[in-house]
Chain A
Amino acid sequence: MGYPRNPAQRRYVLRVAVAMAAYIVTLAAALRFVGGGAVTGPPAYLLALLPGLSVAGIFWAVGRLLVEERDEYLRMLLVRQVLVASGFTLTVATIWGFFENLRLVGHVDAFYIAVLFFLGLGLGSCYNWLTLRGRSEG
């Protein structure tokens, strides 16, 4: 997206920053207390849920940006970016799943799907740049 230019983009950056901070804190807590065995049973599930929910906060922030972006062209760029990211994530995850099922590759933890999506957003941004770049003036 580059430097945030309008209020919707600034809110997006703030929301992602909050979600990332929550992710770091909750992941550290989950690793320490659940991974270390200090917390077990239902509280362990609750604590283990928090890092994933924090990452889901980033997905929510992307969704809110799609709703709140008032500039229709920038909104279209974001829609294309998210479509590329979704297609890329689903394709790689599905192919990897079959490879894994046929024991051609090792197991990869499912939370890497989120990493694929963020990588896909980057690819979507490149796709937008390559297909829509034009002369700029003024």
Chain B
Amino acid sequence: MKNRLKVLRAERDWSQGDLAERLDVSRQSVNAIETGKYDPSLPLAFRIAELFALPIEAIFSKD
């Protein structure tokens, strides 16, 4: 699964640590999701979408 997390984060000038804090997850989690090594669960994907005020499909897409 691909995602636009890194771009969305950069647009807000947030570090991985900033985003991790806002999502209440570890920085490793943010890094793993951004680099495509880990696909988040549906609840976490919803939290990410809510944080960026975007629909899930605007952030995550199939390969």
Contacts and interface: CB of A to CB of B under 8 A. Distances in A.
Interface string B23-57: 01111111111010110110010000000000000
A134 B37 contact: yes
B35 A134 contact: yes
**Complex A-B, nearest 5 residue pairs according to Cβ-Cβ distance, in ascending order:** A138-B15, A138-B16, A73-B29, A134-B35, A71-B26
Interface of A: 5-6, 70-74, 76, 132, 134-138
Interface of B: 14-19, 24-33, 35, 37-38, 40-41, 44
Given A6-B26, A138-B16, 10 more contacts: A71-B29, A73-B29, A74-B28, A74-B29, A134-B31, A135-B31, A136-B27, A137-B15, A137-B31, A138-B14
B26 A73 contact: yes
Contacts of A76: 38
29 contacts: A71-B25, A71-B26, A71-B29, A72-B25, A72-B29, A72-B41, A73-B25, A73-B28, A73-B29, A73-B32, A73-B33, A73-B38, A73-B40, A74-B26, A74-B28, A76-B38, A132-B37, A134-B31, A134-B32, A135-B31, A136-B16, A136-B27, A137-B15, A137-B31, A138-B15, A138-B16, A138-B19, A138-B27, A138-B30
